Structures are given as C-alpha cells and as structure tokens.
Amino acid sequence: MYKKSIQAFKESLEVIPGGVNSPVRAFKSVKCDPIFFEKGLGSKLYDIDGNEYIDCVSSWGPLIFGHSDSETISAINLCSEQGTTYGAPTLIETEIAKTIIDMVPSIESVRMVNSGTEATMSAIRLARGYTNKEIIIKFAGNYHGHGDSFLIKAGSGALTLGLPDSPGVTKNIAKDTMIARFNDASSVEEILNKNTDNVAAIIVEPIAGNMGLVTPNYDFLKSLKEMSVRHQCLLIFDEVMTGFRVSAGGAQELYNVLPDITTLGKVIGGGLPVGAYGGNKKIMNFLAPKGPVYQAGTLSGNPLAMNAGLSVLKRLNLNTFKTLENISAKIYDGFINNIKETDSKAVINRVGSMMTLFFTESNSVSNFDDALNCDTDKYAKYFKNMLDLGIYLPPSQYECCFFSTALSDGDIDKIIKSNKIALKNL
C-alpha cells in the first residue's frame, strides 16, 4: 500500500538529513515511514502509491480553502506571467499591508518576511531594540519557530523529537530566555519581579497549538497584557498559527486582548512561504530604514507570495468562519460520541477549525505538563489506523488538526466513521 513511499524515503535519506526538510514530516513519533505526496485537490491528498486521503492537516494550517484552490492558483498564474521577483517595491505589497491592517486589530504597520521563524526572530530583535532590554519570557510548550532564542522548552517538532534544548544554542543566548508556565500568570509575574527593568518582551501563542491545542484560561491573556504594561515590556502574540485561522483578526480579536507586536505566517501566504510582523506605528518605525533595528530580505514581499496570500485573505469573511465552525463542530461532536461509545480515554480541545484529540487519563489538557502526560504510543497507533482508512492526521500527538472549507458532508461522515473504527482497534 505504501511501497513507493517506503522506497522514496530510502532514497531521500541518502541526500537529505533524516530524509526530510522539516523534522515532523519524518513520522518518527508515529513510528512509521513517511508518506510522499504527489498532489492535492480540494479536501484530498494523493500519495505516490496512488492512495487517496482526506486531509485534516491543511499543510499545517495555510490551506483554508483546501488544495489547489482555484482562486489562489489563478492569482499565482496571472502574477507569474509578469515575472517572479524584482527585489524592489510593488503595489501588491501596499495592498496586502492595508488588508492585514484592516483585519488584525492591533496592527497599524506591517513588515513582510518569508517564514514564521523569521517573523518571531525579527519581532524579538525589534522588542529588544525598542525597549533597550534583553530578556524574553516564553512559555513551556510554546513553539515560535527555530530561532536560537526559542529552542528552549519548545513545542512542535522539538517536543516530538524530545530535543527541548537543541545543541548549537549557546548558553549565552539561552540565558536571555526565561520560561514561564502556560495558563499560569503568577509564573510570569515571578520572572518579571526577579528581573526588574530587563525584560524586553513576553512572547506567547495566545492559543497554544504546538503542544497539541491548548486554550488560554479565562483572563490569562488579559493578565499578560496588564503585566506587560506595568513592567514596561512588550507583549508579543505569536499568531503564526492562529492568525486568519481562528477568526479574521486572529486570537487577539477572539479574546479581545491587543498585543504590542503580532507575528503572522501560515495562512498569510495562502500556501506560499510568507511571514509577517506588525504593531503600532511607533514600534514598527523603529525598524530600518526608518529606525535603527535592522531587518531585511531579498525575497520579502515576493509578488507571487503576496498574490497567493491576498487571494485568501480577501475571502476570509464571517461566512468563511461560519463554514469552518460548522464543519469542525460536526467532526468534534462525532468524535466525542465515538470516544463515549468506545469507552476511550481521550479528551478533545478545539477552537474553530483547530483541534487536537489527546489520549490521556485526565479530563483536561490545559498546560505543558498535562500535554506531556498523554499517551503518545496510543496516538501513534491511532494515527496509523486512520491513515490506513484514508484519513491524514498530523503525525504527532503534539500538533493540531486544521480543517478546510473543502471538506464535504461525505468527507466529514467518513472522518467520523473512521475515527470510531480507529478508536475501537486501539
């Protein structure tokens, strides 16, 4: 069934470290060989053996409208006829900036980059330059890309592979990152009190998605905002995952808490490599060429990527989010039923179209410790069962499903029915 993929992995292992260009793709934590894909159409993915899957990952979030979305594809095609890059200003950059500013409540000015990692790295440099302070507070289990300062108790691939502290990150860099507990404001206050006048920023995934989905408790984000004001540091919301995904204005709109800087990625590129960071004009004008903090990019604001991104952002209206919510709620309800009927030990966290099913004995997962207590072996079996039934899930317990508007009622039925079989056969 997976013969060609198995062979393809053997070959890629010879020339690519670990056979993949991003660790979680290797399927290590689900204990099987990775699938090699050939094409995506709507809600479906097709591998090189000709197997068809209903996709519940959406390339880790970007594909709100599913694969090969016709508007995105024609935006890319039309643009490519005029060339692919000029390394000089274009009108589309101003247009996408205006669109982002209209959509994201706290952003008045925005800089485009090429990945989420680049956005977060640049955001903390800006925060440090602006405040003239050095320490960054981050949360255990939050992932902000692979910048040195963030690979300390990080989630996502780093967590999946059990490399919370990567070799190559120097002690000197690590000492400027302090770790607090997600959903525990007092752990932040403690660090702020011990490091008066030297904390540049608190960076947080407002809805954590890289230890599996973990929602913020009531008032957690508001407390962070209040502390950042009182201690004169900046609050950075890393909305690379949640931006344009949980609502048009991201988690900050959903929870009504406005950060000083927001980082964006994933959806913003409509499937092409894009990131961005933005905030109020006073902070953003601290960037070169207007201000002293340097940050640049040869392909930043690339016209193909801007056109792809804009074609998606333009269509993110209330209807889109209603559709996503309906689809996701149906899947959630079906899974909850299946968990009961099969007497499985599992809980599900969900915000809109982001969702994680955790295999755990406890009745909630609300922080990193809870997440670490999950049964990852069981997840591995569940993942494989679902894969064999034609449902593609994230290949790790510590990631989210991302649903797209391309999922039909038939797809949803099949996902729910397969979930029941997969749970029964654990």
Strand partners, 401: 355
* Residue 130 designated active-site: no
Rounded-to-integer distance, Cα 180 and Cα 178, Å: 7
Catalytic one of 143, 255, 379, 392:
143
Which C-beta is closer to ligand PLP: that of 51 or that of 302?
302
Catalytic one of 138, 153, 266, 384:
266
Catalytic one of 69, 238, 370, 411:
238
The least CB distance from residue 269 to ligand PLP, in Å, is 9
- What are the residues whose beta carbons fall under 8 Å from the beta carbon of 117, sequence distance 6 or more? 144, 145, 146, 147, 275
Residue 146, helix vs strand vs coil:
coil
* Residue 384 designated active-site: no
The least CB distance from residue 107 to ligand PLP, in Å, is 17
Which C-beta is closer to ligand PLP: that of 205 or that of 411?
205
* Residue 2 designated active-site: no
Could you write out the DSSP letters of every residue in 30-48?
Answer: GTSPPPPEEEEEBTEEEET
The bridge status of strand 401-402 relative to strand 354-359 is antiparallel
Which C-beta is closer to ligand PLP: that of 21 or that of 408?
21
Which C-beta is closer to ligand PLP: that of 56 or that of 240?
240
Which C-beta is closer to ligand PLP: that of 119 or that of 339?
119
Which C-beta is closer to ligand PLP: that of 144 or that of 378?
144
- What are the residues whose beta carbons fall under 8 Å from the beta carbon of 99, sequence distance 6 or more? 310, 313, 314
154 in Cβ contact with 144 (< 8 Å): yes
The least CB distance from residue 128 to ligand PLP, in Å, is 18
The least CB distance from residue 75 to ligand PLP, in Å, is 20
Tokens for 100?
A: 């982002």
Rounded-to-integer distance, Cα 86 and Cα 214, Å: 41
Among candidate residues 29, 43, 38, 62, the one with its CA nearest the CA of residue 383: 29
The least CB distance from residue 185 to ligand PLP, in Å, is 20
In the complex, which residues of this chain contact ligand PLP (CB under 6 A)?
115-117, 120, 143-145, 205, 209-210, 238, 240-241, 265, 275
279 in Cβ contact with 261 (< 8 Å): yes
The least CB distance from residue 78 to ligand PLP, in Å, is 25
In sequence order, which ranges of 68-210 are alpha helices (DSSP H)? 70-80, 91-103, 116-131, 156-160, 171-174, 185-194
Instruction: Give the catalytic positions in this structure.
Output: 143, 238, 266
